[in-house]
Chains A and B, each alone.
Chain A
Amino acid sequence: MFAELRNLRQNVFTSKFIQVGRRLAQALPSVFGVILISFILTRALPGDPAVYFAGDMADKESIEQVRVALGLDRGWVEQFFIYVGNLANGDWGMSLSTGRPVTEELLDRLPASLELTLLGLGLAVLIAVPLGVLAATRPNSWLDHLCRLLVTAGVSLPTFFTGLFLVYIFYYLLGWSPSPLGRLDILYLSPPPVTGFYSLDSLLAGDQETFWASLAQLVLPAITLALFALAPIARMTRAAMLGALVSDFVRTARANGLSRSVVLSTYAFRNAALPVLTTLGMVFSFLLGANVLVEKVFSWPGIGSFAIEALVASDYAAVQGFVLAMALLFVCVNLAIDVILTLIDPRVGLD
């Protein structure tokens, strides 16, 4: 039996490697499922898919060409393979309203949305995690009540409403924030594109004024998103910390006289961090949806507002492209979180 255990120990490294590989492999069915549903949605469209995928400029002949290219005259399975092939080649159809390929439009606008979402998520984590930890370590204090209030109220807030409310207070009433009309006031020119993030790019170009201007535009929408993400993160952090603090192993640590800071950080928080990390994945998914609403309120030129315009214009190729892109992005983020968890939790791989 001891030899077996020794082998297990030596193989933990290789087994982690295999676990990560397994996680990567497990993501493949998700990708497949996403593409399949996307395919079903494109075929469920009212009207002729070929018209939508051909684009605005198309005449009867080119629509026929597109119809053949999409394989709409063939069987379902063939159509699916053609569809997958097209996706892989970067051919996601043409946008009816702008006349450009959908992929180009999406890639163009992605940095704007990412800048907003990442800032919102970052703000939320910076506030929610310490708040949750403090609420758990000081039960029934004002921090605890604040946390619980935030959580209960936070999950009830409609994102678009908070955005509008903030605009009303901070723009109309107080005049502190600039007009909610996009990423940059018309007075400024966008910085030379490196990452696509106006804030980073302007810093990289050494343009202080543009940096502050872009940040000023970012503040309100980012706070709106952050408020939305605060509640689930704070709730999970508080619950996980509470669970860790009453656990048997924290009791043992205290019974052996370990200092408060060691008990809180090494014993309680590290264990609580695992479910919090998992929650972040779920929160990111909600944020991608909330993004659409926030972009509409603040006229933010990201993929969300692109999708809304496309919806209004019945530009279905663009809408489906948007849905697929979001799903793939989400799958990647989840995969990343899964891999991190696999690496830091020694118990993973026991199932």
Chain B
Amino acid sequence: MGRHLKHFRYVMGENSVTVFAFSLFALIVFLAILGPWITPYDPLATNAANTLQPPSLRNFFGTDHLGRDVFSRVIAATRLDLGIAVSAVSISFVIGSALGCSAGFWGGWTDRIVGRFSDTIMAFPLFVLAMGIVAAMGNTVENIIYATAIINLPFYARVARAETSVRRGAGYVDAARLSGSGDVRILASQIFPNILPPMMVQVSLNMGWAILNAAGLSFIGLGVRPPEAEWGIMVAEGANYIVSGEWWLAIFPGAALMLAVFCFNLLGDGLRDLVDPLRRT
């Protein structure tokens, strides 16, 4: 454990960008967990007397067309957006890597079937497919998660397959066979630890993309319904007002969205450094 902590500190020290990304990530997680308890106002409370107020000391981000405090809503939305992204990415990571590793290791029919399945999904423009899936299955938040999970599967399957495929002929795999390990054990204990770094990068990048996806779907009216606070919906509601100059309704949630995605993209590199044994000194 001490060895891991020392390495963590070393990686942090190497790159200031990584530190920034991790701090931002910590902030986002903090807000997601504690969000509803630390907002200055109730994110759902309307106030007809106080609509469309620009940012002030009382309402940091101003108020929207129903008098709700935008700052509180942005913070409350963190939980929902992050929750959707984490659930979707977890599902596709687990299923995608299992499929991809099997395809890459055993080849043959497994590879062909997984490949076909993955190619068929990738044959659709992914956002459009998500729209179709949510439309078909019903307009709920759970279905947003499933749709996002499905469209992300091919990425994991492909990376896992490529990385496994490269390593399956490596000398240490043969050596493991000589040491008495069977196929499944080799896949799990010899190959998987080595493909974790590239998969980690993929997970982080995908988180960013999953958030964008979920926000995009709610922007066009799928999944999250008003009066829930979610970044995409807030931008959609704010879109009507931006042409008349009330920019704070849309810009703040949009900026929050951007920041979250940016953080996850930067995180990808940092995560890889942490997990990659080649970087250890």
Contact = CB atoms under 8 A, between A and B. Distances in A.
Q: State yes or no: do A and B touch (Cβ within 8 Å).
A: yes
Contacts of B254: 158, 160-161, 164-165
B201 to A, nearest CB: 13
A331 B123 CA distance: 6
A167 B243 contact: yes
A158 B127 CA distance: 13
Given A155-B208, A289-B126, A172 B243 contact: yes
A293 B243 CA distance: 17
A77 interface: no
B127 A180 contact: no
Contacts of B128: 288-289, 292, 322-323, 326-327
> Mostly helix, strand, loop or mixed at chain A's interface?
helix
Contacts of B114: none
A323 B124 contact: yes
Interface stretch (A30-38, A57-65, A210-218, A259-267): A30-38
Interface of A: 29-30, 33-34, 36-38, 41-42, 44-46, 152-153, 155-161, 164-165, 167-168, 171-172, 179-180, 285-286, 288-290, 292-293, 296-297, 307-308, 311-312, 316, 319-320, 322-323, 326-327, 330-331, 334
Contacts of B222: 311
B120 A42 contact: no
Interface in B215-243: 215-216, 219-222, 232, 235-236, 238-239, 242-243
A121 B265 CA distance: 23
A36 B125 CA distance: 16
A72 to B, nearest CB: 16
A41 B125 contact: no
Given A33-B116, A164-B250, A323-B132, A297 B221 contact: no
- Chain B contact patch, size range: 35 or more
Contacts of A30: 119-120, 123
A29 B138 CA distance: 28
Interface of B: 116, 119-129, 131-133, 135-138, 205, 208, 212, 215-216, 219-222, 232, 235-236, 238-239, 242-245, 247, 250-251, 254-255, 257-258, 261-262, 265-266
A164 B220 contact: no
Q: What are the nearest 4 A-B pairs in CB distance?
A: A289-B127, A33-B120, A161-B254, A288-B125
B220 A308 contact: yes
Contact of A45 (B136, B212, B251): B136
Nearest to B216: A293
Nearest to B263: A156
Given A37-B120, A319-B135, A296 B220 contact: yes
Given A161-B258, A172-B243, A322-B128, 12 more contacts: A152-B262, A160-B239, A161-B254, A161-B257, A164-B235, A164-B251, A285-B122, A289-B125, A292-B220, A308-B221, A326-B124, A327-B123
A323 B121 CA distance: 12
A86 B54 CA distance: 55
B219 A160 contact: yes
Nearest to B213: A289
17 contacts: A30-B120, A37-B120, A37-B124, A41-B133, A46-B138, A155-B261, A158-B258, A164-B235, A164-B239, A172-B243, A172-B245, A285-B126, A290-B127, A292-B128, A323-B132, A326-B124, A327-B129
Given A41-B133, A322-B128, A157 B258 contact: yes
A164 B219 CA distance: 12
A34 B123 contact: yes
A285 B254 CA distance: 23
Nearest to A290: B127
A158 B124 contact: no
B125 A293 contact: no
A293 B119 CA distance: 25
Nearest to B215: A158
Contact of B131 (A152, A157, A297, A319): A319
A37 B126 CA distance: 13
Contacts of B250: 161, 164
A171 B239 CA distance: 13
A348 B122 CA distance: 22
B235 A33 contact: no
A160 B239 CA distance: 9
A331 B136 CA distance: 22
B125 A330 contact: yes
Nearest to B17: A152
Contacts of A37: 120-121, 124, 129
A161 B262 contact: no
